[in-house]
Amino acid sequence: MTVVLIVGVTIALTVTTYDHTSPRAARDKASGPVAGPVDCRKAKCVALTFDGGPSPTTPRLLDILKREHLHATFFVQGEGHIGKYPEILRRISDEGHEIGNHTWNHKVLTQIDADEARQELTRTQNAIEKITGTKPILMRPPQGRTNRKVAKVCEELGLAQVLWSVTAKDYETTDSALITKRVLDQTDRDGIILLHDLHKGTVPAVPGILKALKQRGYTIVTVSQLVAPAKPQPGMVYRP
């Protein structure tokens, strides 16, 4: 009995808590019309998101999305990306995609203090605004790691946190067929797909992913479209 109690206490002490909701729950609590062509209260929606760009492979991805008349959410990174490829970021914005903040140096925000976390996000916000004219309202914490400290900083900066339900782990493989299979095996209604447009096998997998999702009746949307008519709330974690 003593061992069980000790284990229970240890687990309780290591659990991180923060305010979170699902896209569906957020929609259910909201009212009013959806300002856009897709109402995910009626359509079978899934959000498509890309982390870590912009990069030299992003234009090919944008070509694919443009051909399919689809929009995605891009969580962009500062160091080596925004400053290096401003014209690609501008194109992402100009073509109607949603842009989110993925920090400047991809530091794990739970492992640094609040001031440094704030700097990671603020620097990226300012860089995005300088290029596109608009500051993001969404962010994705590196490695999906967040806690109440991170949530408080995000709330101060007007950023909602977005996690995911589908990951292809495309950072560990160049096999486009495997990436496709992993995405399709995990996707369900109201899910959020995480991919990285900078990895070699990812962009070649996208056409097949899009085709299969459409065949299964999915409507592909941005994160904000997925939660509409709810508005992303600063500090809140959205995860399916």
Reply yes or no on whether 51 is catalytic.
yes
Instruction: Find the DSSP H helices in 187-220.
Output: 202-215
Burial class of residue 47, CB neighbours in 10 A (0-12, 13-18, 19+) = buried
Residue 177, both tokens? 């067929």
Residue type, 113: D
Active-site position among 71, 102, 196, 199: 196
| 196 has catalytic annotation | yes
In degrees, rounded to 5, the angle at the alpha carbon of residue 40 between the alpha carbons of residues 17 and 45 is: 80
Instruction: Select from 111, 1, 65, 88 the least CA-distant residue to 206.
Output: 65
Beta strands in the chain (DSSP E): 20-21, 45-51, 73-76, 98-101, 138-139, 160-162, 166-167, 191-196, 219-221, 237-238
Catalytic residue, chosen from 51, 170, 190, 197, is 51
Residue positions annotated with a catalytic role: 51, 196
